[in-house]
Chain A
Amino acid sequence: MVRQIDPERLPAGTYLNTGESANRALRVNRLCYDLKEPANRVAFEADAEAQMARYDLDEEDRQLIRNRDWLGLVQRGANVFPLLRLSQLCGDGLAGTGAQMRGETLEQYLATRQAKGS
């Protein structure tokens, strides 16, 4: 049988959605997933703390969300697609979310690209 993934040899800066981190991140992923419902977007914007409590997030996840720390959330197991609902709700577009994960400003990241659209 061919082993499809070598978890210990993934490219640096890559976090696959699997294993214990996927279990641990289920609640934060659910909070993000549920933002597809307009009422949940309104609820998060009105009272983020209450919404995080409602999803029973642990204190570390809550602090990462308070800090808009998208890289920290991904490192803890959040999947980027539901996470983008949250980051964009908080005002960071795809490029801005990505720039932060690279440790760059948006301007620095876009300077590495030919196109400037989002």
Chain B
Amino acid sequence: MARIIGGLGSPHAPSIGALIDQGGWEQPEWKKLMDGYRPMQDWLAAHKPDAAILIYNDHVTSFFFDRYPTFALSVASEHPIADEGFGPRPLPPVRGDSDLAWHLAHSLVEDEFDLTICQDMPLDHGALTPISAFWPNHENGWPTAIVPIAVNVLQFPVPSPRRLYKLGQALRRAVESWPQDKKVVVLGTGGLSHQLHGERFGFKNADWDHEFLSLLETDPEALASLRTQDYIERGGAEGAEMVMWLAMRGALSDKARKLHVNYHGPLHTGFAQILFEEPDAVPEKVSI
């Protein structure tokens, strides 16, 4: 049976993707952020997960508000790079895993998550920023298959923090019932605090971000118990997307260990990264 070996959290701002495409890993203003990816890259290179379930939100790129899914799962074997309005990023198409994705679809629907199943889902920065940061040597393709799940965090009502946490728990049950000897990681993306619209544009809250990171490790139940309103008040309207990290955390066991955390928020957004490892995760080789 398949198993989840870890969970990773990352922001998904397009500015980070642009920095990666420009080779800006050492850019002084962003070095603290970019350095935060190094331990995650090393861990992924050592553990070589077969697939990554990516919890993200589409930014009105593959989906429009005329018919906007609450949860959308891609079962495609390949995902095009979206043009978001400025030309597509120079990235190879993102390999999926249809077998895992269809298994997830059946398991999640049986578990009362009635997803929209997507067979053709171009990916925007919500997905591309984190994966291009986690796997920086992606010029010739992606070492790990990506199974994206898009979450509505834009057109209200949006799913609650607890719903995201439960989605993660359902994902764990789904992966553990996949009859393949495969290693899976779960990626939570977005945030942390930021607001990108209205007179409150630029709102950030580093204290809340640090509290969130701490509770994510020690008491995710407390985070699941908060209301969407709490996330908007404390972390900004767009920052409320950080509930997607609860799906990642919900997919982990209570024995998962935090290996790494990083925080850097000098501009519009409080950016954070986190890495959790399950106890039975075994590296295939020692990282350099």
Chain A: residues with CB nearer than 8 A to chain B?
2-6, 9-18, 22, 26, 29-30, 32-33, 35-38, 41, 71, 74-75, 79-85, 88-89, 94-95, 97-99, 101-103, 109, 112-118
CB distance from B112 to the nearest CB of A (A): 17
Known: A29-B65, A74-B197, A88-B85. Is A18-B156 also a contact (CB below 8 A)? Answer: yes
The chain B residue sitting closest to A81, CB to CB, is: B59
Q: Are the CB atoms of A14 and B195 closer together than 8 Å?
A: yes
Chain B, residues 173-209, CB within 8 Å of chain A (1/0): the string is 0000000000000000000000111111111000000
Query: Which of A29, A75, A101, A109 has the largest number of chain B CB atoms within 10 A?
Result: A101
Say yes or no: is B287 at the interface (Cβ < 8 Å to chain A): no
Q: Are the CB atoms of A4 and B227 closer together than 8 Å?
A: yes
The B interface is mostly helix, strand or loop, or mixed, namely: loop
> How many angstroms from the CA of A71 to the CA of B216 in the assembled complex?
34
Say yes or no: is B284 at the interface (Cβ < 8 Å to chain A): no
> How many angstroms from the CA of A30 to the CA of B237 in the assembled complex?
22
Say yes or no: is B15 at the interface (Cβ < 8 Å to chain A): yes
Query: Which of A2, A4, A94 has the largest number of chain B CB atoms within 10 A?
Result: A4
> How many angstroms from the CA of A81 to the CA of B197 in the assembled complex?
9
Q: Are the CB atoms of A36 and B61 closer together than 8 Å?
A: yes
Chain B: residues with CB nearer than 8 A to chain A?
15, 27, 29-30, 59-61, 64-66, 82-87, 154-158, 160, 195-203, 227-229, 232-233, 237-238, 266-268
> How many angstroms from the CA of A75 to the CA of B200 in the assembled complex?
12
Q: Are the CB atoms of B30 and A13 closer together than 8 Å?
A: no
Query: Which of B27, B64, B195, B267 has the largest number of chain A CB atoms within 10 A?
Result: B267
Q: Are the CB atoms of A15 and B61 closer together than 8 Å?
A: no
Q: Are the CB atoms of B64 and A14 closer together than 8 Å?
A: no
The chain B residue sitting closest to A16, CB to CB, is: B156
Q: Are the CB atoms of A11 and B232 closer together than 8 Å?
A: yes
Q: Are the CB atoms of B66 and A5 closer together than 8 Å?
A: no
CB distance from A52 to the nearest CB of B (A): 17
Return the contact of B202 from the options A4, A17, A88, A112 (Cβ within 8 A): A112
Return the contact of B198 from the options A14, A84, A94, A114 (Cβ within 8 A): A14
Q: Are the CB atoms of B157 and A4 closer together than 8 Å?
A: yes
Measured between beta carbons, the chain A residues less than 8 angstroms from B64 are 29-30, 33
Return the contact of B227 from the options A2, A35, A74, A99 (Cβ within 8 A): A2
Return the contact of B85 from the options A3, A17, A35 (Cβ within 8 A): A35
Measured between beta carbons, the chain B residues less than 8 angstroms from A10 are 229, 232, 237
> How many angstroms from the CA of A81 to the CA of B199 in the assembled complex?
16
Measured between beta carbons, the chain B residues less than 8 angstroms from A41 are 85
Query: Which of B83, B86, B156, B199 has the largest number of chain A CB atoms within 10 A?
Result: B199
Q: Are the CB atoms of B199 and A13 closer together than 8 Å?
A: yes
Return the contact of B201 from the options A22, A102, A117 (Cβ within 8 A): A102
CB distance from A56 to the nearest CB of B (A): 14
Return the contact of A17 from the options B29, B66, B155, B229 (Cβ within 8 A): B155
The chain A residue sitting closest to B88, CB to CB, is: A36
> How many angstroms from the CA of A31 to the CA of B61 in the assembled complex?
13
